[in-house]
Amino acid sequence: MLLMPDQDWYWFFDETQQQLALALGPEWVFTCAIPAKQLNPDCHFQRPFTAEHAGYYVRCLELLPSQFHCSDAVLMQAALNMVAAKFFAIPMMPKSWFFNSSATIVYAKELKTISLQTSEQRSQFVIVDANDQWSLLMLIDAQCQLNPIKSLDQFALIKVMNDRLMPAIKQKSVAIVAA
């Protein structure tokens, strides 16, 4: 069952966990996967879950299931993390050097699933935000090994130049690795 936005939802900063969180009801809280250092200062104040946030969340729920197989729980986590990334992530510099250039031209479009190839593996990402030159991506796979030492965990953000984007791996199944 998918949760639909409610007028009582609101964002707040959980000081104990040092994470952005979304209150979904009196006893139900979603904690975002985005580290505090990647969030803008507005996150430290209570903010409503706006109509703009709700619209983006619903678009995620509508578009993502046709691009990869996942449970409702994974879909909701991905969608809520994407809303947090879209509206609260600070600008970041591209880190394209971790990824191989693509031989295929892939159009960067918001909420499109794509893949990136490192020297270690090929991983699935969703485009959170994009323009003609770069894309802000969220990792959908459990992990992406960037090099022998550094990796990204599920729902992590990275910005890359669009010449790195590769077509998505068709209908890949995705699961949550850690809540």
The pLDDT tens digits of the residues spanning 27-56 come to 899 999 999 999 999 889 999 999 999 999
pTM for the full predicted model: 0.91
Residue 173's alpha-carbon distances to 64, 65, 77, 156, 157, in angstroms, are 12, 10, 15, 18, 20
User: Residue 68's pLDDT is what?
Assistant: 84
Domains in the chain with CATH codes = 10-88 (no CATH), 96-174 (2.30.30)
Distance between CA atoms of residues 22 and 143, nearest Å: 24
